[in-house]
Structure 1
Amino acid sequence: MSGGGPRQRGGGSAERPPPGRRRGELLGSKRKQKLLLIHQALMSDPVAVETLRGAALSEGGLLTDEIRRKVWPKLLSVNVYNLPPKPGRAVRRNHKDYTQVQLDVNRSTRRFPQGMRPEQRQVLQEQLIDLILHILRAHPELHYYQGYHDIAVTLLLVAGERMGSALLEKLSTHHLRDFMDPTMDSTKHILNYLMPILQRESLCLHDFMLRAEVGTIFALSWLITWYGHVLTSFPHVLRLYDFFLASHPLLPVYFAAAIVLHREEEVLACDCDMPSVHQLLSQIPQNLPYESLISRALQLFQRHPHTELAKQAALQHHKSISIGTFTAFQLAASRQRPDSVLRSQKQQDSAHPEAAALLPTAGHSPLVKAAVWGISATLGAAALAVTQTALEWAPEFLLQLF
């Protein structure tokens, strides 16, 4: 058995959080420090994207949806002051995927918040159909797959229709690109990274799964939906999206490996046959220790770089678009201007209608909150000192800035 560090066993129980605290939730001074760190990173020029990535990866992720609406665009290099217009119903006309998308969306009622009125959910489902078809029509090289709507609905619920569309477009042309090929070859290629990780970490577990001939198909829905289809807790889904949006496109595979390794004792206790092992692994427990699994996935990524795994016979002959373009994607994201600068540029463009007419319609922005960001940028360290003082007596103060 290879690999460093103690292995977490599936039979063990994770440490219970203190009463009143949800697992993965930050309290007190650590939360305040994280909020201030995110604020400073967003106001840096250029934006401190690496700091934002660190916040998304670390315990608790990005904490709130208000912060996600600020940080997710920065992680994907999306200019929120130059968003595309809302997708219209015209995208449905004669689209080859319309019927399939409509069927999948209509079956996705459990992905919407419990207690939502049926008429509200219906509006969101119609927006979801238009959002998906808009991306597919704008990028004919992309092919719809069942499960794509699970990712799209998460973005829609957090970011709204226009920003959700911009985020989904970036993901579709980068992180999800291999899943959107006309065949399953690229998707199988991504799945093929799973077994080499298991082999390096636990030869016993790896060989058991080979004897059972279970393959990797049990993890297919995990990867192509970023676990959105298999987890029932929306906060858990959002925590994983923070993680994946800030990471290399292969991190969902490393996270799958972390889950399988975490459940090693359960797997080895199974009958060594495909139906038994597949049934066990395809059902993800809903009470997994997500923070420790995220940490373990990052450790696996560092310990077993994908470039080394790719030397194995099953991986070396396929060229992944998602993997191949990620370095350039990261570099582009590191050169972003802060929202205060982008907002000023947009206001200047609006003062010249002739030039502005050539640009896409800008997204709606909360001007009062944007003004606060602008003031913080102007005052610099003094404003941050005032903010730190305010945090001592009003823990939710900085949230209002988002």
Structure 2
Amino acid sequence: MKKGKKHQQVNCNGNNRPTSSTTNRNEKGHGEHVSWKKKKLLDIHQALNSDPVDIETLRKAAVSEGGLLTDDIRRKVWPKLLNVNVYNLPTKPGRDVRENHKDYNQVLLDVRRSMRRFPRAFCFGSPGMRVAEREVLQEQLIDIILDVLRKNPQLHYYQGYHDIVVTFLLVVGERMAIALVETLSNHHLRDFMDPTMDSTKHILNYLMPILEQVDRELHDFMLQAEVGTIFALSWLITWYGHVLSDFRHVLRLYDFFLASHPLMAIYFAAVIVLHREKEVKNSECDMAMVHHLLSNIPQNLPYEELIDRAQSLFARYPPSQLAKRAALQSRKSIAISTFQDFQLTTLQQRPDSVLRRQRLTNGQLSLTDDTAAAATPTSANQLVKMAVWGISATLGAAALAVAQTALEWGPDLLLQLF
């Protein structure tokens, strides 16, 4: 027997069974992972309760490994990243929102074709979403899109917009989705919502200069193949929601993009191409072949690694440096030019506890408000409070703060952390 096999054990199913030392290492790794999640949760909790809210910490949490961890946390943090007051949300659209709307027919067609964006029934052993539930959400999706467009006549619908809106609807609900999408459409997505695609093409034109800076050989190969950048169009204008099948990956990228510069989605496109550089260079130097290869985005991408690389490339080759190239000088981007001012507006937000008190004082807070502050069911609250008391007695003040935050965001999160 070889030395390397000496400590290997086999269980009754014939599978390799880890030794005690391996088990200890795995337990240590799991413990470190849990500690990392607890620390991140505590940082987010403290940032949300600072006055003003600590937006920089929230941005770092959204960008760093794992993103915002759960949808409960996203319902707290996404509004802060976009400067949306969850205690002053727009009302649900009335039925008249559809009357005589020029985009209604196109929106209806796109939403009807969006079935795959909703959790499928009996998918991967889980019950998924019932047909009736999906149909209700599709109707809400139509109303959200038309309501935002009706309130903002400067915005023009494009095919793929519904892929972005549905992501927010599934995470935060109808009323908060309206508020978040309206803000996002006037800032990060603004260039895609012009009457023509000229501004969108302008954003796509950043892709090749990024590749040229990092891998000149790959850049020249793609130029020779005349593949252009149209393969990345659906990536960019849907924030990858249309091309990624796993909703977890979509959410991870939305955390990243919401906390980043509007052009980060094109930097992410560049790192995907760079990640696949061997495949591209080994393919036939033909437009159709290269376009087909790049259009079919792999589903098993190393997302955290690519997010890190996109940030590094953004820092090393910022848009201002790339824009000096002749091809990028002719058009002004609304999203880029307004981004700095938009970021400044997010820095003086009050924590939700203060916003809630203000609404209560003014008598404006309704129990039917569709906000992230929805109460946990009473029976669940009592059980989780008991768990919190036990945790605080054994793990100390820091763990108590984490547990209290988990209670606020939902009992499922507490079970994940402890």
TM-score by length of 1: 0.85
Where do residues 117-266 of structure 1 align in structure 2 (5 Å cutoff)? 117-266=130-279
Residues 41 and 402 in structure 2, CA contact (< 8 A), matched pair in contact too: no
CA deviation vs aligned residue, 1:45-102 (integer Å, no higher than 9, x gap):
1000000000000000000000000000000000000000012221100001000000
What is aligned with 2:379?
none
RMSD: 2.4
Return 5+ residue gaps in structure 2 as ranges. 1-22, 122-128, 377-391, 410-418
Q: Which amino acid counterpart does residue 408 of structure 2 have in structure 1? A: L
CA deviation vs aligned residue, 1:213-255 (integer Å, no higher than 9, x gap):
0000000000000000000000000000000000000000000
Deviation at 1:20, TM superposition (A): 10
Residues 82 and 363 in structure 1, CA contact (< 8 A), matched pair in contact too: no
**Counterpart of 1:143 in 2: which secondary structure?**
coil
What is aligned with 1:15?
none
Matched, 1:100 2:106: yes
For 2:234 and 2:375, how far apart are their aligned partners in 1?
42
For 1:79 and 1:394, how far apart are their aligned partners in 2?
24
Q: Which amino acid counterpart does residue 187 of structure 1 have in structure 2? A: T
Pick aligned residue for 1:399 from 376, 382, 406 = 406
Where do residues 2-401 of structure 1 align in structure 2 (5 Å cutoff)? 27-115=33-121, 116-350=129-363, 363-364=370-371, 366=373, 389=396, 392=399, 398-401=405-408
For 1:133 and 1:117, how far apart are their aligned partners in 2?
25
Q: Which amino acid counterpart does residue 132 of structure 2 have in structure 1? A: E
CA deviation vs aligned residue, 1:319-365 (integer Å, no higher than 9, x gap):
10000000000000011010011111111111xxxxx59x9x96446
**Counterpart of 1:337 in 2: which secondary structure?**
coil
CA deviation vs aligned residue, 1:249-275 (integer Å, no higher than 9, x gap):
000000000000000000000100100
Change (3 A) 1:202 1:62: same
**Counterpart of 1:27 in 2: which secondary structure?**
helix
For 2:141 and 2:69, how far apart are their aligned partners in 1?
25
Percent of pairs with identical residues: 67
Return 5+ residue gaps in structure 1 as ranges. 1-17, 351-355, 370-384
Q: Which amino acid counterpart does residue 116 of structure 2 have in structure 1? A: R
Instruction: Count residues in correspondence.
Output: 359
Change (3 A) 1:143 1:386: farther
Q: Which amino acid counterpart does residue 405 of structure 2 have in structure 1? A: L
What is aligned with 2:14?
none
Change (3 A) 1:126 1:390: farther
- Decide which structure has the larger Cα Rg and report it: 2
**Counterpart of 2:158 in 1: which secondary structure?**
coil
Q: Which amino acid counterpart does residue 32 of structure 1 have in structure 2? A: K
Residues 61 and 242 in structure 1, CA contact (< 8 A), matched pair in contact too: yes
For 1:156 and 1:389, how far apart are their aligned partners in 2?
38
For 1:387 and 1:287, how far apart are their aligned partners in 2?
40
**Larger RCO, structure (CA 8 Å, separation 6 or more):** 1
Residues 173 and 370 in structure 2, CA contact (< 8 A), matched pair in contact too: no
For 1:343 and 1:327, how far apart are their aligned partners in 2?
28
For 1:365 and 1:197, how far apart are their aligned partners in 2?
39
For 1:205 and 1:340, how far apart are their aligned partners in 2?
52
Deviation at 1:399, TM superposition (A): 2.1
**Counterpart of 1:29 in 2: which secondary structure?**
helix
Deviation at 1:27, TM superposition (A): 2.7
What is aligned with 1:13?
none
For 2:403 and 2:352, how far apart are their aligned partners in 1?
21
Q: Structure 1 stretch 156-165 or stretch 391-400: which is displaced more? A: 391-400
Change (3 A) 1:394 1:186: closer
For 2:192 and 2:326, how far apart are their aligned partners in 1?
21
Q: Which amino acid counterpart does residue 96 of structure 1 have in structure 2? A: K
Change (3 A) 1:392 1:271: same
